[in-house]
Amino acid sequence: MTAKTPPIRLAIHGGAGGIRRDKLTPEREQAFVQVLTQSLQTGYQVLVQGGTSTDAVAAAIVIMEDSPVFNAGKGAVFSHEGHNELDASIMDGASLNAGAVAAVTTIRNPILAAQAVMTNSPHVMLIGTGAEHFAAEQGLEIVEPSYFFVQHRWNQLQKAKENEQIALDHDLETESQTQAKTQNDEKHGTVGSVALDHYGNLAAGTSTGGLTNKRFGRIGDTPIIGAGTYADNRSVAISATGTGEMFIRTAAAYQTAIQVRLQNMPLAQAADDTLAEIAAIGGEGGLIVLNAKGDYALRFNTSGMFRGVIGNDGIVHIGIFPGNEIPAQSR
């Protein structure tokens, strides 16, 4: 008998929201699928080569931050003042060590800055120019704020200002399709990843530009440990996307993890319970959840969530809408 290969697994999301089949052109869908595939394969390579779950999570997120199609890194949404203010966090489920940055405007890959905060500082969260100085000292790539500019995000800001909206917005629409949105048509574009490595360790990370037209230094759930991100080997790794304020108010990621740990709740049920609480206070979004056996649940209460998963066999599974695009593995 040969020893059983320990499970490895990586799951990602690229935001949940009112994604509509009739508005998603084949070209746009292809663009999303291509980046999700590359993200999964990049994280998988880290895991297959014996890398850690935190490195796999960071590598998978860097691909999505570097792509203009997601609301993280390049292509992030604009604040009211016309800036890209980025938030990110990461957590190691073995040590409960964590790192985060918020409202940074010049760090090319905020997730790497969050990882550096976790690994190379005694702190958990650094913000603004302080975080940028730290990232530069760590040798991370610093860019001009204009690096993050993408025209359709700029157009979205103008639209949001006209409509006096503070919008969670994935922007799947082409410019000609952009119309005043109803609440149900809003989209969320944060990216995130959870991973299980060969050593049995879990990690989670999340990165975002936040909300279009946000003001006054608004920060959402993404860089807040226990809200947008959480990982604990005793329960699960989680990354969230959605209406950040409600995810903070429900301590969404921690709440989901503690239900699994203390109640032994199945992952999908724990995620759905949390999403129901979020819905009850007027929020919406999604959660990706992974445990140390490699079981996962990718749940959302919106019309769609960009998501994907890969395991030992290296086969990429990607889903956008509800249904069976991804094999159910949740226990």
Contact residues: ligand ASP, CB under 6 A: 15, 71, 168, 188-190, 208, 210-211, 220-222, 241-242, 244
Q: Of 219 and 292, which CB lies nearer to ligand ASP in the complex structure?
A: 219
Q: How far is the CB of 243 from ligand ASP (least distance, A)?
A: 6
Give the active site residue among 52, 105, 190, 208: 190
Angle, CA 176 vertex, CA 174 and CA 79 arms, to 5° = 60
**Residue 152 carries which side chain, given as an amino acid letter?**
H
Q: Of 240 and 290, which CB lies nearer to ligand ASP in the complex structure?
A: 240
CA distance 303 to 158: 25
Tell me the C-alpha to C-alpha distance, in Å, between residue 205 and each of 33, 51, 154: 20, 16, 26
Q: Of 43 and 285, which CB lies nearer to ligand ASP in the complex structure?
A: 285
Q: How far is the CB of 218 from ligand ASP (least distance, A)?
A: 8
Could you tell me how many residues make up the chain?
Answer: 331
Q: How far is the CB of 110 from ligand ASP (least distance, A)?
A: 12
Single out the residue of 23, 7, 35 nearest to residue 307, CA to CA. 35
Q: How far is the CB of 191 from ligand ASP (least distance, A)?
A: 9
Q: How far is the CB of 188 from ligand ASP (least distance, A)?
A: 3
Strand duo 304-311 + 317-319: pairing: antiparallel
Which residues fall within 8 angstroms of residue 63, CB to CB, at 6 or more apart?
Answer: 35, 38, 39, 42
CA distance 75 to 77: 6
Q: Of 46 and 168, which CB lies nearer to ligand ASP in the complex structure?
A: 168
Q: Of 71 and 329, which CB lies nearer to ligand ASP in the complex structure?
A: 71
Answer for the pair 206, 15: CB distance below 8 angstroms, yes or no.
Answer: no
- The residue number whose beta carbon is nearest to ligand ASP equals 244
Instruction: Give the gyration radius of the chain's Cα atoms.
Output: 18
CA distance 40 to 246: 28
Q: Of 44 and 306, which CB lies nearer to ligand ASP in the complex structure?
A: 306
Q: How far is the CB of 114 from ligand ASP (least distance, A)?
A: 14
Angle, CA 43 vertex, CA 40 and CA 47 arms, to 5° = 125
Collapsing DSSP states into helix, strand and coil, what is residue 94?
Answer: coil
> Is 250 labeled as catalytic in the residue annotation?
no
Which ranges in 167-318 belong to alpha helices (H)? 244-249, 252-263, 267-280
For the annotated catalytic residues, the residue numbers are: 190
